[in-house]
A and B are shown apart, each in its own frame.
Chain A
Amino acid sequence: MTIVLALVGAGLIGASGFLALSARSGGPKLADRVAVTALTAGASLAALAAVVALSNGDDEFAFSAGFPGGAVGLGLDALSAVFLLPVAVLTAACGVYSLAYFPGIEHPREAPRLRISFGLASAGLIVVLLARHSLVFLAGWEVMAIAAFFAVTAEERDREVRAAGFLYLVSTRASALCLLALFSLLWAATGSLSLTPLPVGIIAPRSQSALFLLALVGFGLKAGLVPLHVWLPPAHAAAPTHVSALLSGVLIKSGIYGIARVVSLLPDARLWWGESLLAIGVLSAVLGVAYALAQHDVKRLLAYHSVENIGIIAIGLGVALMCRSVGRLDTAALALAGALLHVVNHALFKGLLFLGAGAVTQRTRTRSLDALGGIAAAMPATAILFLVGAVAIVGLPPLNGFVSEFLIYSGLLRVVASADGAIWLLAALAAPALALVGGLALACFAKVVGAIFLGASRHRSQPASHDAPAAMLAPMGALALLCVAIGVVPFALAPALAAACAVVLGAPAEPLDAPFAAVSAVALTALALCAGVALALRARLGRAPLEAAATWDCGYVEPNARMQYSASSFAEPLVRVLSFALLPEVHSPRLMPIFPGPAAFHSDVVDAALDRILMPLVRAFAEVAGRLRVLQQGSVHSYLLYVWLALIALLAVTGAIG
C-alpha cells in the first residue's frame, strides 16, 4: 500500500517536466505551474507514504517475471522511509523555489529541459530507496545520475558549467562501475540479485569485505567522501541553486543510503569496516570544513560543507559499525540514529542555506563573499532564515543540527566510557576531531553570515533593493520551521530512528537510550531565556536615551565600507594554521621602497585532491592512452578483431585460473 503511494508519487515527480512540456501551449507561466503542481503533489504522496510506513511498519512487494536473480522486489522499510522524507520535502521546496528562481519566461531555452531532469533525478532517487533488487536499484541509480548531469549543466553555455558537468559525469560513471562490480559479486556469491539480508554462513567473510569495499568506493564517490569528493564543489557551484540544494541536500545522501543498505545485508561486519569508515569520516569532516573556510565563492563554500557533513554522518555510521561488530548494539543504535538524523537535518539546513544563497545571488548578481555585505538591511527575511540555517549547520542548540551531533557524540562518548580494546581510543580521537570540526564550522558560518548580511555594503555588487519574492521565502521558511521543530521536540522522531537503526543493525527495534527530553529542555530554556532577556532589554532601551552614531573608528578619520574585515581576512588566521593541509597559493606583493606604489594581495586555495593528485595522474594516463590511439582507426572490422582477441585472452586467463 505505502509502496504504491510512493511509486505514484515518484511517477508524478518524474512526469512533472513532461506534463509541463505538454502544457507548453499555455505559455511558460502555465508550464511552470503545472510542473510545480505535479512535483508538490508527488512529493506529498511520497512523504505520506514515508510517514505511514514509519508508523505502520514495513511494506514489501515482489513479482517474478523471469527476471534474472530472483523476483523483482520493492520495499519501504523504516530505513528507506527515513531517507524518503527529506527527498520529498526538498523536492517540493526546491520546486516551489524554482518558480521565482528559474522561471520559464526568463530561461525559455533551459527551463523545459531543467524541469524534466530535475523531476527525473528526484524520481530516480525514490526508486533507489524503494529497490530491493539490484537491477531495479541500478536502473533508479542511473536515471538519477544521468538526470542530475543534465540538471547540473542546465546553463551549459558557460564553459565552467560544462567542465563541472564533465567532472561529475566521469565520477558518476566510475561510481556506477563500482556498483556493477558490487552487484555482480553479490550475484556470484549468493546466486541472487535481491537486496535482502543474507543469512549467516552463506557468503565467505572475505567476499563480504570485498562487497563492503566496493560499496565504500562506489557509494563514497556519490556521497563525496574525501578523497572522492572532487566532483562535488564544482558541480554544486555550476548548477542552478535549487538544483544545488537538491544535489547537496538529498542526492549525495543516496551514497550514504547505499552504504547503510549494503551493510544491513552483510551479516558478519568486521571491525576494520567501521574503523576505516570512521577514519574516512574524520578526514572528510576536517578537510571539508577546512576547504570551506578558505573559499571565496558562497556556493563552493556550501558544497565543501556538504563534504564536511557527509564526513560527520560517516563518523556516526563508522562508530555504529564498530559497535555492531563487537556486539554493543545499544551504543551502535545511538551513533547510527545520530547519523540518520543528520541525513535528515542536513537536507533541511543545507537546502535552506543554498536557497538563501540563491536568493542573495539573484539580487546581487555575485557569488563572491568579498563583494557582498550589509544585505540584511534590504533582505531582512532572507537574512533571518539564512541565520537559522547557519546556526543549524554549525550544530548549535536549540536547532536540529545539535540533536544529531549530540547523538553521534553520545555514541562516541559511550564507547570511550565503557568499551575495551582499540575502539575506545579511536572514539577518543574522533570526539575532539568532531569538536574541532564544530569550531571550524562556527568560524566559517560566522564568516558567511557576517560577510553577506552584516556590516556595510562593500559596493562591489549590484545593490539588493528588496527582499526575495514569496515563492522563494515560503519554501525557505518551511525548511527553517522544520529545523526549529526537530531541535525543540527531537523525541518526536525517536521511534522512527530506532526502527531505521534496527534495519541496519539487523536487530529488533529498541527505544533509543538518549536524553531527548533533556536536550529539548535545554533548547526550550535557551529560547525562552533569550526571548525574556531580549524583551527586558527592549523595555529598558525603550526608556533610555538612544543615540545613533558612526561605528567607532579608533580615532581614524573617515573610515569607509571597504575597510571592513573581509571574508578572506576573517578566515586568514585559521587558513594559516591549516596551511600544512590546505597549501594556499598566496600572491603577496613586496612593499620595498619607502613610498611603495599600488599593490595587490591575492590568495587562493585549490583542491589538493583534484589539482595536486588526481589531475597529474589523469594527465599521465592520458599521455599513455594517447599512444594507444594507433589501435583506434575507426574501422569496425578491426574493432571486432580486438573484441575477439580480448575474448580469447579472457578465456585463456579464466582457463588458466580455473
Chain B
Amino acid sequence: MTLVDIAAGLAIPLLFPPLMLGVITRTKARIAGRRGPPLLQPYYDLARLLRKGVVRSRTTSWVFLAGPVVGMVTAVLAASIVPIGARGSLISFSGDLVAFAYLLGLGRFFTIAAALDTGSAFEGMGASREAAFSCLAEPAAFFALLVLVKLSGTYSLGSMLGPDLAEQWARGAPSLGLATVSLFIVLLAENSRIPFDDPTTHLELTMIHEVMVLDHSGPPFALILYGAAVKLFAYGLLLVRVATPFHVDGVALGIGVSLGELLLLSIVVGVVESVMARLQLLRVPSLLVGASLLGAFGVMLLVG
C-alpha cells in the first residue's frame, strides 16, 4: 500500500461524504423545478452548526451526547473498511464485513439510546422504528454479501470486491444482479431515504431518523449530520463497486472513477426520492423482507 493510497484512504471518507448529500438535494430541486441550494451547502451547514451553541433537554444524561459521538466515529471506521474501487482499504482482514455491519450497529445502539434519553414520545417512536427496520435490513445485507463471499471464495471485503469482480459477474450475473438490487434497497433503508423515510418531511409522527435527533443542536447535531453522510458514503461505495466491476488502471484514476460513480449514485437516489412517495410505515417491513428474499434467491442460484 503506497503513501498515496493511505492519504486517499484517510482523506476521502472524511471529506467527500457531505458532497453526496449536496448532490441529492440539488437533484431533487432540479426535478421539482427549483434551483436548489449550492452543492457545498452541507459543508456550510456543518460549519455553521459547529459554531453554534447547544440547547440541552433537562431530562438527558451523558448518553444523549454519547449518541452523536459514537454514531460518527463508528460510521467513519466502517467507511474505512470498505475499499475504494478495486484497491484495498485502510483496514482489511478476513471477516471485516462482520466488523462493518457491527460497527454500524454500535452507532445505531447509541443513537437509539440517545433518542430514548430525551424521554420524548416522538423520539421514542423514531427510535423504535429505526430499531425495527434496520434489524430487518441486516439479513438482506448479509445475503447480498454472501453472494460475493461464495463467488470470490474469500471473506474480506478487499478481496471480495477486488480486481476479479468482473470475472465473477461473468460466472454469477443473476446472483450478483439480485445482490445489487438488494444492496440498493438496504442503502435506502439504512440511510433513511425515500421510500423508507422522508428526510424533509414536516410531520414528526411519520419520521424515523429525523425525529430521533429532534433535540440535538449545535456541534453534536453537526456530528450526527456528518455521521449520516459518512454512512451513506460507506454503503454507496459498497454498492457502486458491486454494480460496476470494471478494473481501472492507475491509483488516481481508479479513485476518481469510484467517486464519480458515487456522485452518479447520489443523482439516482435523488431521482428515486423525486418520483416515489414514502411507503406507509406498516408496509416497510414487507419491502425489507423482500430485499432479504432477493438476496436469498441470489445465494440459492449459486447452488451446484
Contact = CB atoms under 8 A, between A and B. Distances in A.
Interface of A: 373-374, 376-377, 380, 383, 387, 390-391, 394-397, 402, 405-406, 409-410, 413-414, 416-418, 424-425, 428-429, 431-433, 435-436, 438-440, 442-443, 445-447, 449-451, 454-456, 514-515, 518-519, 521-522, 525-526, 529-530, 533-534, 537, 540-541, 544-554, 559, 561, 563-565, 569-574, 577
Contact of B131 (A390, A442, A540, A563): A442
Interface residues of B, number: 85
Given A454-B113, A530-B73, A552-B215, A564 B120 contact: yes
A435 B146 CA distance: 12
Given A406-B95, A522-B91, A574-B132, 15 more contacts: A383-B61, A413-B146, A413-B149, A431-B142, A435-B142, A436-B139, A446-B112, A446-B116, A455-B118, A537-B68, A548-B58, A550-B57, A551-B123, A570-B128, A573-B128
A230 B299 CA distance: 35
Interface of B: 50, 52-61, 63, 65-66, 68-70, 72-74, 76-77, 91, 93-99, 101-103, 105-106, 108-109, 112-113, 116-125, 127-129, 131-132, 134-143, 146, 149-150, 152-155, 204, 214-215, 218-220, 223, 285, 292, 295-296, 299-300, 303
A85 to B, nearest CB: 25
B120 A551 contact: yes
Given A446-B131, A570-B124, A431 B69 contact: no
B113 A450 contact: yes
B59 A449 contact: no
B303 A409 contact: no
13 contacts: A377-B61, A416-B155, A424-B150, A438-B105, A529-B73, A533-B69, A537-B219, A544-B52, A552-B215, A564-B119, A564-B120, A565-B124, A570-B124
B155 A396 contact: no
A556 to B, nearest CB: 9
A540 B127 contact: no
B109 A445 contact: yes
Nearest to B92: A518
B170 to A, nearest CB: 19
B41 to A, nearest CB: 22
Given A425-B299, A546-B56, A552-B120, A574 B131 contact: yes
Contacts of A526: 73-74, 77, 103, 106
A417 B77 contact: no
B57 A552 contact: yes
Contacts of B68: 537
Contacts of A447: 131
Contacts of B123: 551, 565
Contacts of A394: 105, 109
B153 A374 contact: no
Contacts of A552: 57, 118, 120, 214-215
A447 B138 CA distance: 18
The 4 closest A-B pairs by CB, nearest first: A565-B124, A439-B135, A450-B116, A455-B119
B69 A547 contact: no
B125 A565 contact: yes
Contact of A442 (B56, B105, B117, B124): B105
B150 A416 contact: yes
A128 B52 CA distance: 63
Nearest to B303: A425
Contacts of A377: 61
Contacts of B140: 432
B116 A454 contact: yes
Contacts of A545: 53-54
A383 B102 CA distance: 23
Contacts of A550: 57-59
A436 B141 CA distance: 10
* Chain B interface main SS type: helix
* Chain A interface main SS type: helix
Query: Which of A394, A435, A436 gathers the greatest number of chain B CB atoms within 10 Å?
Result: A435
Contacts of B295: 432
A445 B99 CA distance: 20
Given A406-B98, A554-B122, A572-B128, A432 B146 contact: yes
Contacts of B303: 425
Contacts of B108: 442
B53 A537 contact: no
A577 B150 contact: no
Given A396-B102, A432-B292, A549 B56 contact: yes
A525 B135 CA distance: 25
A454 B118 CA distance: 8
Nearest to A410: B95
Contact of A439 (B60, B134, B299): B134
Nearest to B80: A525
A396 B108 CA distance: 10
Nearest to B56: A548
Nearest to A564: B119
B214 A515 contact: no
A376 B63 CA distance: 10
A565 B122 CA distance: 8
Nearest to A530: B73
A612 to B, nearest CB: 24
Given A377-B61, A530-B73, A564-B120, A551 B139 contact: no
A567 to B, nearest CB: 10
A519 B94 CA distance: 10
B131 to A, nearest CB: 4
Contacts of A445: 109
A564 B124 contact: yes
A356 to B, nearest CB: 15
Contacts of A574: 131-132, 135
Given A397-B99, A450-B113, A551 B124 contact: no
A432 B139 contact: yes
Nearest to A570: B128
A537 B220 CA distance: 8
Nearest to B135: A439
Contact of A436 (B60, B122, B138): B138
Given A446-B131, A526-B103, A418 B153 contact: yes
